Structure 1
Amino acid sequence: MAELSPQAVVDEFFLKNPEFGLDVTLKELEYELDNDESGSEVARLFRKAAYLAEHYPNEERLNELLKLFDEFKRLFGEWKLAECIFRRVGEEVINPKSYSLTVIYMDPTGLRKTVIYEVFPRNHTEEGTLKALSNDLERIKNLGVDYIWLMPIYPIGEEGRKGTYGSPYAIKDYRSINPELGSFDDFKAFVDKAHSMGLKVMIDIVYNHTSRDSILLKEHPEWFLHEKGRPSRKVPEWSDIYDLDYSKKELWEYQIETLKFWARYVDGFRCDVAPLVPLEFWKRAKEEVAKVKKNVVWLAETVHPSFVKWLRDRGFKCHSDPEMHQAFEITYDYDGRERLEAYLRGEKSLSHYIDYLYIQDTLYPAEYVKLRFLENHDIPRAASLFKDELRLKNWTAFTFMLKGAMLIYAGQEYAIEKQPSLFERDPVDWESGDERFSKFIKQLITVKKRLECDKQRVYLAKEGVAVVECSNAVGIFNLEGKVGNIKLEVKGKDLLSGKRVKSKKGTLEIGFEPLIILRPQ
């Protein structure tokens, strides 16, 4: 991963020479429109072309890009890609510099096809720096993901630090880069390189608390939650932080200005324990950030329902998932995860989890987007939970097909079992990964882009066998390694194996591999 690939060199050259880069990318687009069956490579090239067009706003090239975009919509209408609009600024005589690019908000359908790749910069590489991480961008891009989410990149507090290096969520300064990761120039170079490849960048926002020796605590101790005259916290186990007090309106202004600063560089915010911060703050923050950049995606780390109740029972305000959709496009699926965990512990049946997916579809706003995941930095690796390879494949494919955006935590794509420590230097052991599973993940990402799952039905055809029915496909997932038949009328091509699948008299014999069958049009 440390070596700079030929493609990465080309991408960097294009970034420095956007006129030439745009010409080449437009030619690539013309070719891929005729040859890319899935539309994923075309979509990636459009994102890259749009980024280069911002740096080289040539009238002729913009018109050419618009024509290609119309052809893309005709061929791949199911993509619902965020539309690019080139508009004249002012009433002067047309010249290339009077054009600018605006990207409309992605609609829920587009966000539900989104794949986010989570990275812990300290532990992603042996070097543990942003420069080293940038050398892995080409591999990440080639998976087909849309966003790369950087876990907190800020300086870490020392007082009460957990472990040797501390939690990246105990932040000392919201407005600077952790020097262990590199400089601010390194951060900007990383973002520029990601953008040149068609990747969007999301950063972590941790606004419930700071480290116990933060700049804010030193300069504005009155902005913090206090108990018996001393800074305090809502969760005693979070011993390396103090909580902020959002009854102080001056704090709102400071935090919003910080968000507006970072929005100049990034494309999305993942907001840590967002329900513990007032919803009205998030609504106003979103409005203010939109004045700087209109296409920022907001992802809320909502929390387990049991945690919501525990906080409320102790007198603290904590918002529910449906409430958070007033300000956020995407919320975590920890409400579903709580039921899944009860099943995995053997306390509840699989239907206890499957049935809850219907509740989500009726309880949430119609435009809701959940972030589906089998793992992240706070929960065990999927490969450590599902030791059997076929069970892991079925659960992974099932989660990919559920309505919502999808999260991959770095290393998950190689079925790596060991979870990196949050408090130590503990690099991902890439050598222990399974290359075959990485190809499977890449295949699932391509398939997800083709699925039309806004209208979805999820049920158990028999105990241990889940069926996901979408508008253009049906998925069959043997989650418990069962044998036998299920009642299902189905005919079409399995997008994972390439084989034709057809039931006989409404009955299908189940196998051990997952199936995602494209319905005939």
Structure 2
Amino acid sequence: MTQPATTRATVPAPAGRPPRSAPGWWRDAVIYQVYVRSFADSDGDGTGDLPGVRQRLPHLAALGVDAVWLTPFYPSPQADGGYDVSDHRSVDPRLGELSDVRALVTEAHALGLRVLLDIVPNHTSDRHPWFRRALAGDPAARARYHFRTGRGERGALPPNDWESVFGGPAWSPVPGAPGLWYLHLFAPQQPDLDWRHPRVHEEFASVLRFWLDLGVDGFRFDVAHGMVKADGLPDIGAARQARLIGAQELPFFDQDGVHEIHRGWRRLLESYGPDRIGVAEAWTPTAERTARYVRADELHQAFNFHFLQTGWEAGELRQVIEESLAATAGVGAPSTWVLSHHDVVRARTRLGSLARARAAALLMLALPGSAYLYQGEELGLPEVAELPRAARRDPAFHRAPGTAAEGEQGMRDGCRVPLPWESDGPSFGFGPGGSWLPQPAAWGALSVRAQTGDPLSTLELYRTALQLRRLLPGLGDSAMEWLPAPAGVLAFSRPGLVCLLNTRDEAVCTAAPGELLLCSVPEESRDAMEAGAPADQLRIPANSCTWWAA
């Protein structure tokens, strides 16, 4: 009987972890998203902070990722988890100081990790100095946002029928100015900037230079598809809801004008050398529309939300993979793959089981291009659906009770529950105190401490897969070829590797493609697969993914 395929001892440890050489390191990078407030708390106030992230960087280096993406840590009233920024060049005192960013970047680089920051260019906080001056009546400040006269008698109705992504109207009345409204595609505390104004362009170019001068390696641009609105701000019709972002054409998302903004950012990034990158959070109706954001003179990567939104069905997965690869190949860019992030239900819950989430992870890491991991994904954490109403912080939950609050828009708190690092203690090692969102009692068994060294754990599966991804020259940014497979199974080859994904709820018999390297089902080995299978075939476990040396 061979060792379990998930035993890390079956994979030779690399001699070191130097950062990927520039240029082009991002084309096959694995990038780990840190939701700062929920990653690690250094001071016991219950909220994660930058010193906490810095202390836990060795975990990310040992995991085997190439870069870290930090969610916003800027000063913010926290109306939307830090995505309502009041100062783009500073650090929220609750999360650290500017010196902590410098120290974090320095230590990350020493560990072979690059650092990406989250930039929020579509809107500011309503506490931002610009918007405060705008509310006070400053015409120059108002020109940087979308202020409009309302419709109806005395402007009592919103200027158009746009809805907020978080539910309710996308317009709020200006206090003390009857008939005047301002636009916010998200929470009322997040007024949208008007990117037709040159001062807005100048401000964000300055912000990017500030952080690039500090040493960061690039940026993820929040709502990169939303900064430009259609001329005249036309109605969209009552049947088309803004909450279905990416599902259809909308006059405030994916407008052609955003691409000139991205071209300017690309030029700015390249002025700092070939290895600084920009990543677009761009929800679009098709893979072809997404690929427009990564044309040669625009950004380097764009999130593949079409892959993330695909269900556990072999035909659908193959279709979205083919469409994604074709679209990005058409513009010479790498594809990206993502299963979870801070705005969606965790993959384990969304896909229906831990087995499927583990299999999906191996599928994702075997595909050509770059992959994104969300903190806790490597632990197999589920969505926390049962949270006290008083503990919830998602503005969608409180803004649309009984509708979006009970569905996907109210679930963002559940994927943001602080990480468990230790098997016990008041916050499972998250920090000296409690945690800002309550952790389930069972999370001790899912902690980093509990899973480290256990060859059957999800953490060790990720570590092994990421080691193999680094060691096998055929993985990353290279070609793939589909192979014949039974119904419900995907099979494809990479140079030196074959990947088999079984999406069925029962084992499937198929010919062995080579020597087994890794299996997402922890108890399976090649011996177990051979038992009871016809001659010259193997039993591929239900809801599993296997890697084979070809």
Output the TM-score relative to the length of structure 2. 0.66
Would you say 1:204 and 2:227 are equivalent positions?
no
Cα separation, partners in 2 of 1:328 and 1:504, compared to 1, 3 Å? farther
For the 8 Å contact 2:348–2:356, the answer to whether it is kept is: no
State which of 29, 52, 69 in structure 2 corresponds to 1:114: 29
Equivalence for 1:192: 106
Q: Take 1:360 and 1:426, find their aligned partners in 2: how far apart are those partners? A: 31
Percent of aligned pairs sharing the same letter: 21
Alignment partner of 1:209: what SS? coil
Would you say 1:225 and 2:189 are equivalent positions?
no
> Following superposition of structure 1 onto structure 2, how do residues 143-158 of structure 1 map, counting pairs within 5 Å?
143-157=63-77
For the 8 Å contact 2:301–2:334, the answer to whether it is kept is: yes
> Following superposition of structure 1 onto structure 2, how do residues 293-372 of structure 1 map, counting pairs within 5 Å?
293-305=273-285, 320-326=289-295, 327-338=298-309, 340=310, 343=311, 350-364=314-328, 365=330, 367-372=332-337
Equivalence for 1:86: none
Instruction: Note the C-alpha offset of 1:422.
Output: 5.9
Instruction: Note the C-alpha offset of 1:483.
Output: 2.2
Equivalence for 2:549: 518
> Following superposition of structure 1 onto structure 2, how do residues 111-190 of structure 1 map, counting pairs within 5 Å?
111-126=26-41, 127=44, 128-157=48-77, 161=79, 166-190=80-104
Cα separation, partners in 2 of 1:167 and 1:484, compared to 1, 3 Å? closer
Cα separation, partners in 2 of 1:249 and 1:460, compared to 1, 3 Å? farther
Deviations 1:6-29 (A, max 9, x none): xxxxxxxxxxxxxxxxxxxxxxxx
Output the amino acid matched with 1:195. H
Q: Take 2:350 and 2:327, find their aligned partners in 1: how far apart are those partners? A: 29
Deviations 1:322-358 (A, max 9, x none): 11012121111112333x1xx35xxxx5413321221
Q: Take 2:351 and 2:292, find their aligned partners in 1: how far apart are those partners? A: 33
Would you say 1:259 and 2:208 are equivalent positions?
yes
Alignment partner of 2:321: what SS? helix
Instruction: Note the C-alpha offset of 1:213.
Output: 2.1
Output the amino acid matched with 2:345. P
Deviations 1:281-334 (A, max 9, x none): 11112212322344112111121528x9xxxxxxxxxx9211101212111111
Q: Take 2:536 and 2:393, find their aligned partners in 1: how far apart are those partners? A: 50
Instruction: Note the C-alpha offset of 1:447.
Output: 1.8
State which of 427, 452, 456 in structure 1 corresponds to 2:474: 452
Cα separation, partners in 2 of 1:489 and 1:387, compared to 1, 3 Å? closer
Cα separation, partners in 2 of 1:412 and 1:37, compared to 1, 3 Å? closer
Output the amino acid matched with 2:419. V
Alignment partner of 2:52: what SS? helix
Alignment partner of 1:240: what SS? coil
State which of 429, 432, 442 in structure 1 corresponds to 2:420: 429
Cα separation, partners in 2 of 1:233 and 1:446, compared to 1, 3 Å? farther
Alignment partner of 1:169: what SS? coil
Q: Take 2:265 and 2:26, find their aligned partners in 1: how far apart are those partners? A: 21
Equivalence for 2:494: 470
Q: Take 2:39 and 2:362, find their aligned partners in 1: how far apart are those partners? A: 25
**494-503 or 431-440, which deviates more:** 494-503
Q: Take 1:437 and 1:221, find their aligned partners in 2: how far apart are those partners? A: 51
Cα separation, partners in 2 of 1:41 and 1:266, compared to 1, 3 Å? farther
For the 8 Å contact 1:355–1:459, the answer to whether it is kept is: no
In structure 2, stretches of 5+ residues that fail to align are: 1-9, 134-140, 151-179, 228-257, 395-412, 424-442, 452-456
Deviations 1:122-181 (A, max 9, x none): 1112442211221111112110111111100111136xx3xxxx4211111111111110
Would you say 1:287 and 2:270 are equivalent positions?
no
Would you say 1:397 and 2:362 are equivalent positions?
yes
Relative contact order: is structure 1 or structure 2 higher (C-alpha 8 Å, sep ≥ 6)? 2
Instruction: Note the C-alpha offset of 1:366.
Output: 5.1
Structure with higher helix content: 1
Q: Take 2:11 and 2:420, find their aligned partners in 1: how far apart are those partners? A: 34
**114-123 or 494-503, which deviates more:** 494-503
Cα separation, partners in 2 of 1:232 and 1:194, compared to 1, 3 Å? same
Q: Take 1:367 and 1:41, find their aligned partners in 2: how far apart are those partners? A: 32
Deviations 1:260-292 (A, max 9, x none): 110122012111111223111111122123223
Deviations 1:196-221 (A, max 9, x none): 21111111011111112212323533
Equivalence for 2:397: none
State which of 192, 202, 206 in structure 2 corresponds to 1:243: 192
Output the amino acid matched with 1:446. Q
Cα separation, partners in 2 of 1:208 and 1:40, compared to 1, 3 Å? farther
Instruction: Note the C-alpha offset of 1:509.
Output: 3.3
For the 8 Å contact 1:354–1:460, the answer to whether it is kept is: no
Would you say 1:378 and 2:343 are equivalent positions?
yes
Instruction: Note the C-alpha offset of 1:440.
Output: 0.6
Equivalenced residues, count = 400
For the 8 Å contact 2:40–2:52, the answer to whether it is kept is: yes
Cα separation, partners in 2 of 1:305 and 1:143, compared to 1, 3 Å? same
Q: Take 2:281 and 2:70, find their aligned partners in 1: how far apart are those partners? A: 14
Deviations 1:222-265 (A, max 9, x none): 11123327563363x53331111111122111111110110122
Q: Take 2:55 and 2:535, find their aligned partners in 1: how far apart are those partners? A: 53
Would you say 1:416 and 2:437 are equivalent positions?
no
Alignment partner of 2:219: what SS? strand
Equivalence for 1:269: 219
For the 8 Å contact 1:451–1:470, the answer to whether it is kept is: no
CA-based RMSD of the aligned residues comes to: 3.1
For the 8 Å contact 2:307–2:317, the answer to whether it is kept is: yes
For the 8 Å contact 2:314–2:489, the answer to whether it is kept is: no
Instruction: Note the C-alpha offset of 1:182.
Output: 0.9
Q: Take 1:459 and 1:353, find their aligned partners in 2: how far apart are those partners? A: 15
In structure 1, stretches of 5+ residues that fail to align are: 1-35, 48-80, 83-103, 309-318
Q: Take 1:517 and 1:505, find their aligned partners in 2: how far apart are those partners? A: 19
Q: Take 2:205 and 2:181, find their aligned partners in 1: how far apart are those partners? A: 22
Alignment partner of 2:485: what SS? strand
Output the TM-score relative to the length of structure 1. 0.69
Q: Take 1:273 and 1:471, find their aligned partners in 2: how far apart are those partners? A: 36
Would you say 1:105 and 2:23 are equivalent positions?
yes
Alignment partner of 1:270: what SS? strand
Q: Take 1:112 and 1:506, find their aligned partners in 2: how far apart are those partners? A: 38
Cα separation, partners in 2 of 1:504 and 1:418, compared to 1, 3 Å? closer
Deviations 1:105-137 (A, max 9, x none): 21xxx4343111111111112442211221111
Instruction: Note the C-alpha offset of 1:465.
Output: 1.9
